[in-house]
Chain A
Amino acid sequence: MQQFIKPPVEIRYKEELDMLRFADDGRKPENWVLSPKMVRTFILGGEVDTKDGKEKISRKFYGNDALVERAIITLAGSRGLMLVGEPGTAKTMLSELMCAAICGVSTNTVQGTAGTTEDMIKYSWNYALLLSKGPCREALVPSPLLVGMEKGIIARFEEITRTPAEIQDSLISVMSDQILNIPELGDEGLVLARPGFNIIGTANTRDKGVNEMSGALKRRFNFETVEPVKDVRLEKEIIVKEAQDLAAAGHIDAPIDTDVAELLAVTYHELREGMTAEGTVVAKPDAVMSTAEAVSVYYQTISHAWYYGSGRVSLDVLTQSLLGAVCKENKDDLEKLRSYFRVAVKEKSSREGGLWKEYLKTSPLLR
């Protein structure tokens, strides 16, 4: 597992999935590896009975538990699941977790881009074989969608709204009739979806260059809006946990400074909400202030400390990383960040002192 940068979910959490499978005595939809109850436990955490007694299953998705329940039940039905929301809200992670728990495969994925074509969604051909043998099953290159239909597993469609609307619409017939026709193969070209097949789409709502979905396609999906984490404490926990995982993967053996993680969580939370905990209104930057961004800023800071510094997190580097993460597109964001330091950080530094005081001292770096 260690030889991969990011192992697939089913490999990363193999032990937990095995335990859940062992303990699972619930009712399962056809072809599901785990029952809906166990899928829920895998994603939201809990305890299971094993041969060696009770074992803890870690929580992997924080935030809206009811959303996860709705998503699981949706996948057991005939409609697809569409996860929408701002970038960095863990939509992809959630879809990977669900796929790994439901069918044991989280990598059956179409990545949507402006250049995605209908071939990538349905099927294409190995042209060398096509020329030598003509249209036959051997020459067919199945898309993840086709693989999903044939094996009865879930196909993921990442960033579906980046794909042009007319290409997106090629999903409609598959989702309505659960049939994909490959006319080149003649009588053998009718692929009927096996039970367990479904689609999880993800779409973000804030990036530039997204295409609106047609009403017909929308009708074939249940939509779930994944929102940013509302609770600062939870956001801090996520930053710490994710940074720990990233550090372990990167062989960075530095302890995680939870106070700095809290500072960063508060900064991201308040800038995202446009209001401080004390009730002062602050300007919201145009940049995406997601928890994923905060994790990346924090990881950057600890990497810097590990390779260049003493191993201890420096607030100077944190502020510089923050600057890089926030001021990307709009020149006004720099002023908004400065104003946050002038108003909110100053207020906290005079009230709480300590780390906030040091944080305030780094404000000259915002330029």
Chain B
Amino acid sequence: MEGISQNEPASAVIPFDLDAAFLLYPVRHHSPACAYQLIKTAELYRPDVILIEGPENANELIPVLTDERTRLPAAIYYYYKDKKKHISPEGEDFRCYYPFLKSSPEYNAMAFAKKSGIPAFFIDLPYSEILINTKHDKGLLKGDKHSYADDSRLTRGQFYMALCEKTGIRSFEEFWEKYFEIEGLYKTPEEFVRAMHTYCALARKDTPAEELKADATLIREQHMAFNIKEAMKIYKRVLVVTGGFHSPGLYERLTGGEIKPVKPHSVPKDCTGCFPAAYSYEAADALHGYASGMSYPFFYDSVFERVCAQKSPVGAYSAQVLDMLAACAKKCKEQELPVAISDVTAAHTLIGGLAALRNIPEGGIYELLDGVTSCMIKGERTVSTSLPIDILKKLLTGDGVGHIGDTAHTPPLIADFEKHCELYKLKFNSAIRQEVEVSLFKTERALGLSRFMHRMAFLGTGFCERIKGADLHSGKDKSRVREVWRYRRSPQVDSLLIDRTAEGFTIEEACTSLASKRLKEARRFDVAAKTAVDCFLCGIELPDAHRRMTDILTSDGDLLSVGKGLRYFSVLYDLSRLYDYDSSMTLSLMQMCFERLLGSLGQLINLPDEQAGECIEILRHLYGLIDTRFNDRRDELYAALCDMSAASQKNPAVYGAVMGLMYAFEESNRTLAQSAMRGYLSGTQEIKKQGSKFMRGLFTAARDIVFADSTFIEMADKLIVSMSSDDFMEVLPDLRLAFTGFTPQEIQRTARAVAEIYGGSGDSILYEQAIDEGLFEFGSALDRELALCFEREDK
């Protein structure tokens, strides 16, 4: 880079010479302007070979990507299993995608080569070598980096911030769209390439050399330059298509002295590889967050198609913007948002005006977003009024999914998936959602099918969803022996399965590997126990699980987590025989949990209110276990509860539950519970409010105490009557929860008792004033909306 300075721009150093032996063409990934100008450049240069930045171990997949049956977006999926521990002592698995859209310059380079009957090759280091040569937490080893294409050097850093400030533009993307995407279409190939070289060289100047070494940029460039030199020995005219950031580095090497080949590390064959994979616009858009390509890929793909179809950039952006505006208005209408034709017209005029004000030949995405913001959002811009913008962004991103035409390269995990679908006679080639019913214990095959479905769900493929059957995670309906599954194989299932290839080549192997990873990462016992439930459902066994679970249990300082874990294992123990599951580990862990909780119950009595519910469930569960599994520990639990009740600081709800359980042990303890409640009633208003929490705990643990005599009903009545309406509203949730566990008969019995206090007859409570129909409908609608909101939040 020494040769490139501010006085001597990169465009002057890196030539655009159509007669030279090689021509460096700089790109930004998924940029339609780069792709359009690349085609024009290639037509002018007429290369004998095209060399493209990309791991060279995927060269055999180039014909698959350019096959007529392949529909974009598609990607190359690379994986590497670091069994030889070249990268870290942990021996992790790595994977990444190299996506291609219609507007990707790299894809267009391959397509041009095919059309012209010339070869095209990838020239970068193999994926494994890039990783091995990258320093920890840099480049492709940085965080969750799952994309090979990396534009971060071009799109982040001080350089672009200074540019945005200078040009008065909000973001880098807007800057890029204005100066490169829109204006770039109107330039000649030479002007465009020079502008790209200048921009990229200045961005590179901003990057320290040690950074370039740490993220493997330098060694990759050495390898690419070596490959270019080798190609120049065979071909006369070599077109090189790489990320613009690499061009200055490559040029310096190509015009310098001898280039040494990079010595590869020894990597076993089965530890690394690549497959073609269907990809989606949504996934491509998400990659933008990692500076790997541009946002709103559908919009840019459509613009590129228009430019290519009309063989001119004039009007392409305007036409696409208008299309998107109309589509957005239509979608808004469908969602009953108040958008009128006049809004669309006003937005269109505004977009044109903004483009003129900003000196752009045609309005692009940012003018479109501005138009919709001004003309379609009525009132203050908030989350709820911004729906038109959300709709527009979704449209700009697109929801299309690609398809790989050549099936000869089916990835192993998909092959295993298809094999199992055939074995269980699942209609996996249909686009229509299917349903299958599984009677779990009728045949061995049925249990196998259930496990296969659970495995697919565990891998997060989105292939299937259980709509009926036991839910062992929540402990609901655990005795159900029939499951109903809904399933459909969408392109996303394939891409997610490919994503799991790093974890194994069969579904079982991938599940085992994923579960082991989760167990290894788990710090809380409840998380580990949840993984044990997953393994149970999937029918997989983890090596060394018992030791790991024991370690987590002993190191987990949160008793609530231990209690929750105990509940998971109790469910597994109860079902182990039915599911033909080895229960020895389960029982041993249950014993350890029981011991641990029994010894520390005193710590639970003064928990904060938000944890009280969980604590009460644990106490009830412990009581349930002494009735079944651990009845020899009965006296110890009773003594521990007595100690809890004697503590000086108590959470009222937990205290209530303790009193309830003590009553369950010994009926005479009822008087203790009554006097505790009286204590709350005779306190200040704040203490009285705590009485409702006490009742909640008490009735949750032992609701039959209500019916032993009328004392508690009377006390509850006294509590409610003594409160102002504001205080009553405050304690209402607790009071409701206190009676949640009551059966309808018990509620009726309670209501009768209340009616009697006020001199009402038994049946009078069955009648009340009719509720207004409209109000009832409003309440129902509100309930439905809230339920939907909660569902969304849960997801």
Contact = CB atoms under 8 A, between A and B. Distances in A.
B69 interface: no
B383 interface: no
A225 B168 contact: no
B374 A223 contact: yes
Nearest to A29: B353
B357 interface: yes
B340 interface: yes
B380 A73 contact: no
Interface stretch (B343-351, B445-453, B522-530, B645-653): B343-351
A224 B385 CA distance: 12
Interface of B: 168, 170, 338, 340, 342-343, 346, 349-350, 353-354, 356-358, 366, 370, 373-375, 377-381
B94 to A, nearest CB: 31
B380 A205 contact: yes
Interface centre among A44, A79, A224 (most CB of B within 10 A): A79
Contact of B378 (A65, A70, A218): A218
Interface centre among B350, B370, B378, B380 (most CB of A within 10 A): B380
A225 B350 contact: no
A76 interface: yes
Nearest to A221: B378
Given A77-B349, A77-B353, A215-B338, A66 B381 contact: no
Contact of B354 (A44, A73, A85, A205): A73
B180 to A, nearest CB: 19
Chain A interface size, as a band, is: 20 to 34
A122 interface: no
Nearest to A46: B168
B364 to A, nearest CB: 13
A74 B374 CA distance: 8
Contacts of B366: 66
Given A223-B378, A223-B380, 8 more contacts: A36-B356, A69-B357, A73-B354, A79-B346, A79-B375, A219-B342, A222-B350, A225-B381
A261 interface: no
The 7 closest A-B pairs by CB, nearest first: A73-B353, A225-B381, A222-B374, A218-B378, A84-B380, A205-B380, A70-B374
A222 B375 contact: yes
A225 B379 CA distance: 8
Contacts of B343: 219
Contacts of B353: 36, 73, 76-77
Contacts of B370: 66, 69-70
Interface string A292-326: 00000000000000000000000000000000000
Contacts, number: 65
A269 interface: no
A236 interface: no
Contacts of A222: 346, 350, 374-375
B380 A70 contact: no
A44 B379 CA distance: 24
B382 to A, nearest CB: 8
Contacts of A84: 379-380
A79 B375 CA distance: 9
Contacts of A36: 353, 356-357
A346 interface: no
B385 to A, nearest CB: 9
A70 B377 CA distance: 13
Contact of A218 (B356, B358, B379): B379
Contacts of B381: 223, 225
28 contacts: A27-B356, A36-B356, A36-B357, A37-B357, A40-B357, A44-B168, A65-B170, A69-B354, A69-B370, A70-B374, A72-B357, A73-B353, A73-B354, A74-B350, A74-B374, A76-B353, A77-B349, A77-B350, A205-B380, A218-B378, A219-B338, A222-B350, A222-B374, A223-B374, A223-B378, A223-B380, A224-B373, A224-B374
Nearest to B357: A36
Nearest to A215: B338
Nearest to B353: A73
Contacts of A37: 357
A271 to B, nearest CB: 21
Interface string A207-244: 00000010100110011110000000000000000000
B168 A73 contact: no
Nearest to B379: A223
Contacts of B358: 69
Nearest to A225: B381
Given A223-B379, A225-B381, A73 B357 contact: yes
A109 to B, nearest CB: 22
